[in-house]
Chains A and B, each alone.
Chain A
Amino acid sequence: MSENLLEVTGLQKHFPITKGLFKRQVGAVRAVDGIDLNVVAGETLGVVGESGCGKSTAGRLFTRILEPTGGKIVFEGEDITHKSVTQMRPLRRDVQMIFQDPYSSLNPRHTIGTIISAPLQIQKIPTPQGLKKAVQELLELVGLNPEHYNRYPHEFSGGQRQRIGIARALALRPKLIIADEPVSALDVSIQAQVVNLLEDLQSEFDLTYVFIAHDLSVVRHISDRVAVMYLGKVMEIAHRDDLYKNPRHPYTVALMSAVPVPDPVRRDSAQRGRVLLTGDVPSPINPPSGCRFRTRCWKAQDICATEEPPLVQRLDDPDSHLTACHFPVVDDEAVAGRAPAATPA
Chain B
Amino acid sequence: MSLGPEASVTDETSAPTADAAEVRGPAEKAIAGRSLKQIAWRRLKKDKVAVGGGIVVLLLIVVAILAPLLTKLFGHPIDEYHIDQIDPTFGTPIKPWGGISSDFIFGVEPTSGRDVFSRVVYGAQTSLTVAFLSAFVSTILGVIFGTAAGFLGGWIDSMISRVMDLLLAFPQLLFSIALVSVLPYSILGLDGRWSRILVLVGVIGFFGWPYIGRIVRGQTLSLREREFVEAARSMGARSPRILFRELLPNLAAPILVYTTLIIPTNILTEAALSFLGVGIPPPNPSWGGMLSDAISTYQTDPMYMIIPGGMIFITVLAFNLFGDGLRDALDPKAR
Residues of A bordering B, CB below 8 Å? 21, 23, 60, 63, 65, 85, 88-89, 92, 95-97, 99-101, 104-112, 118-119, 122-123, 141, 143-145, 147-148, 150-152, 154-157, 159-160, 163, 165, 168, 172, 190, 193, 196-197, 200
Contacts and interface: CB of A to CB of B under 8 A. Distances in A.
A193 B235 contact: no
Interface string B1-24: 111111100110110100000000
A152 B5 CA distance: 21
B237 interface: yes
A97 B236 contact: no
Interface residues of B, number: 38
Interface in B149-175: 154-155, 158
Given A101-B227, A107-B249, A109-B249, A118 B14 contact: no
Contact of A200 (B2, B246, B252): B2
A101, A104, A109 — which one has the most chain B CB atoms within 10 A of its CB?
A: A109
A188 to B, nearest CB: 13
A152 B6 contact: no
Interface string B106-139: 0000000000000000000000000000000000
A147 B31 contact: yes
A97 B231 contact: yes
Contacts of B231: 97, 99, 105, 165, 168
B2 A92 contact: no
Nearest to B20: A155
A157 B13 contact: yes
- The 7 A-B residue pairs with the shortest CB-CB distance, nearest first, are A151-B33, A193-B4, A105-B227, A92-B236, A109-B249, A89-B236, A119-B235
Contacts of B227: 99-101, 104-105
A155 B12 CA distance: 11
A142 B155 CA distance: 44
A123 B235 contact: yes
Given A92-B234, A107-B246, A152-B33, A197 B6 contact: no
Given A92-B235, A155-B33, A196-B4, 8 more contacts: A105-B228, A111-B35, A122-B237, A148-B31, A152-B35, A156-B10, A156-B13, A200-B1
Contact of B234 (A96, A104, A109): A96
A148 B235 CA distance: 23
Contact of A97 (B4, B234, B250, B252): B234
Contacts of A150: 31-33
Interface string B93-114: 0000000000000000000000
Contacts of A85: 236, 238
Contacts of A163: 7
Nearest to B4: A193
Contacts of B236: 85, 88-89, 92, 122-123
B226 interface: yes
Contact of B6 (A97, A119, A160): A160
B333 interface: no
Contacts of B11: 145
A60 B5 CA distance: 32
Interface string B191-235: 000000000000000000000000000000000001110111111
Q: Chain B interface secondary structure, helix, strand, loop or mixed? A: helix
20 contacts: A23-B158, A96-B235, A105-B230, A107-B228, A107-B246, A109-B249, A110-B249, A118-B232, A118-B235, A118-B237, A122-B237, A141-B1, A143-B2, A150-B31, A151-B14, A157-B6, A159-B6, A190-B6, A193-B2, A200-B1
Contacts of A65: 230, 233-234
B144 interface: no
A213 B34 CA distance: 34
Contact of A197 (B2, B32, B230, B232): B2
B23 to A, nearest CB: 14
Contacts of A197: 2, 4
Interface in B258-285: none
B36 interface: yes
A172 B252 CA distance: 30
A309 B215 CA distance: 50
Contact of A122 (B6, B31, B235): B235
B10 A154 contact: no
A109 B10 contact: no
A88 B16 CA distance: 42
A134 to B, nearest CB: 15
B241 interface: yes
Nearest to B10: A145
Given A85-B238, A152-B36, A200-B2, A144 B228 contact: no
A138 to B, nearest CB: 12
B3 A143 contact: yes
A208 to B, nearest CB: 16
B10 A148 contact: yes
B286 to A, nearest CB: 40
Given A107-B246, A157-B6, A172 B230 contact: no
A63 B4 contact: no
Contacts of B234: 63, 65, 92, 95-97
Contacts of B154: 23
A108 B36 contact: yes
A120 B35 CA distance: 23
B226 to A, nearest CB: 5
B224 to A, nearest CB: 12
A99 B233 CA distance: 13
Nearest to A190: B6
B227 to A, nearest CB: 4
